[in-house]
């Protein structure tokens, strides 16, 4: 179970620093980290077992997920695949996008093993291209007839281009030491790509007066971490976009939320040059790669209809609680005026 006895100050402190590897947060109270599920180890070479107890996985399989059409950008690996895998197991139909054809083929094969043929659609697309965003929605509607949930997961950081964030063997790369194209690519992918994908879905969501949109963000401390100038700016912009759009869409039946793991997590997003070890083998230094799964699945269900404008921190999911209570425990308290400085 995640800690239920933390003070608000401890909880916010944990959330602000959790983007650092575990060695950097070792001074935090043990109660704040000891109950998190352990990171998984490699299974068949191209997939990882769930780190969550079967009881949790069964409890989040809400009846409304049966045949629910869900679109996940960047769904062929990392957080995207972990969410897709669990949603498929819960009975949803899932469309996933990616730029790598072979990686999408591999994901499709894994999806068919989980849910059978026709339950997962793969779409080669790049959120940097508005025409790809429009085509992605069209292909999803063609495959499933409708769309209920959009999960904006695709994202990159300067780490993808050899940048550093001040860890041993990975020294900080200042904004002016990066190629100008790096900053543009990060911001256009993480912010404008989400804007274009979300806007492409709106002509379908608005007439139906129903839709669920949530996007993957990062911890507040990670936004302001040296070396993350462009990545942090893109995620700060992402969260402002969601807060504003949630207010603009209030009363329309379209929910808009932010979901974040609450710390650096064991996926391909963090290479072995940043935190040594193979993906799935870095328990104790990183959160499990699938830490994000329970609140992501719950946000995709009718159990959260009307929940909008929230910032959901996955690491606070309480495995001993019922899903509704566990989800509420992941919600960051609202503030009237967000601040970062």
Instruction: State the Cα–Cα distance between residues 119 and 17, nearest whole angstrom.
Output: 38
Q: Residue 133: which pLDDT band, with cuts at 50, 70 and 90?
A: very high
Tokens encoding 201 = 């879905």
State the average pLDDT over residues 316-334.
Answer: 96
Q: Among residues 319, 167, 222, 259, which one has the least CA distance to residue 19?
A: 222
Please tell me the predicted confidence (pLDDT) of residue 21.
41
Q: Is residue 154 part of a domain?
A: yes
pTM of the predicted model as reported, rounded to 2 decimal places: 0.84
Find the CATH number of the domain harbouring 101: 3.40.50.720
Q: Is residue 31 part of a domain?
A: no
- Domain count for the chain: 1
Q: Is residue 51 part of a domain?
A: no
Query: pLDDT tens across 31-77, in order?
Result: 333 334 433 333 323 467 888 899 999 999 999 999 999 999 999 98
Query: pLDDT tens across 73-104, in order?
Result: 999 988 899 999 999 999 999 999 999 999 99
CB 184 within 8 A of CB 161: no
Residue 171 Cα distances to 128, 162, 167, 227, 273, angstroms: 28, 10, 6, 9, 11
Count of helices and strands (H, E) across the chain? 11, 7
Q: Is residue 6 part of a domain?
A: no
Query: pLDDT tens across 184-223, in order?
Result: 999 999 999 999 999 999 999 999 999 999 999 988 888 8
Q: Is residue 49 part of a domain?
A: no
CA quadruple 194, 332, 222, 25: dihedral, nearest 10: -150
Range of the domain at 155: 57-328
DSSP state string for 175-205: GGGS-HHHHHHHHIIIIIHHHHHHHHHHHHH
Q: Residue 23: which pLDDT band, with cuts at 50, 70 and 90?
A: very low
The DSSP call for residue 132 is H
């Amino acid at each position: 179970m995640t800690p239920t006895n933390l003070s608000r100050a401890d909880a916010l402190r944990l959330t602000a620093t959790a983007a650092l590897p575990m060695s950097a947060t070792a001074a935090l109270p043990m109660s704040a980290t000891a109950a998190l599920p352990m990171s998984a180890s490699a299974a068949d070479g191209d997939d990882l077992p769930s780190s969550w107890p079967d009881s949790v996985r069964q409890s989040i399989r809400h009846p409304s997920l049966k045949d629910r059409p869900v679109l996940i950008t960047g769904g062929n690996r990392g957080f995207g695949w972990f969410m897709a895998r669990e949603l498929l197991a819960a009975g949803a139909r899932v469309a996933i996008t990616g730029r790598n054809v072979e990686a999408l083929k591999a994901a499709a094969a894994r999806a068919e093993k989980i849910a059978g043929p026709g339950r997962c659609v793969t779409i080669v697309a790049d959120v940097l291209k508005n025409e790809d965003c429009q085509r992605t929605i069209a292909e999803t509607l063609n495959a499933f007839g409708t769309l209920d949930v959009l999960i904006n997961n695709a994202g990159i950081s300067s780490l993808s281009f050899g940048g550093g964030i001040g860890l041993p063997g990975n020294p900080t790369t200042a904004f002016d030491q990066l190629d100008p194209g790096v900053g543009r690519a990060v911001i256009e992918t993480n912010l404008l790509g989400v804007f274009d994908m979300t806007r492409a879905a709106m002509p379908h969501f608005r007439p139906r007066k129903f839709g669920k949109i949530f996007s993957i963000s990062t911890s507040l401390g990670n936004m302001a971490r040296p070396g993350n100038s462009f990545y942090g700016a893109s995620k700060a912009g992402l969260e402002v976009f969601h807060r504003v759009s949630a207010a603009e869409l209030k009363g329309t039946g379209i929910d808009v939320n932010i979901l974040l793991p609450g710390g650096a997590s064991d996926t391909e997003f963090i290479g072995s040059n940043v935190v040594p070890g193979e993906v799935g083998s870095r328990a104790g230094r990183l959160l499990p790669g699938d830490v994000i799964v329970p609140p992501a699945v719950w946000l995709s269900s009718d159990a959260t209809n009307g929940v909008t404008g929230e910032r959901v921190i996955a690491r606070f999911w309480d495995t001993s609680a019922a899903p509704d209570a566990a989800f509420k425990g992941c919600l960051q308290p609202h503030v009237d005026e967000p601040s970062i400085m």
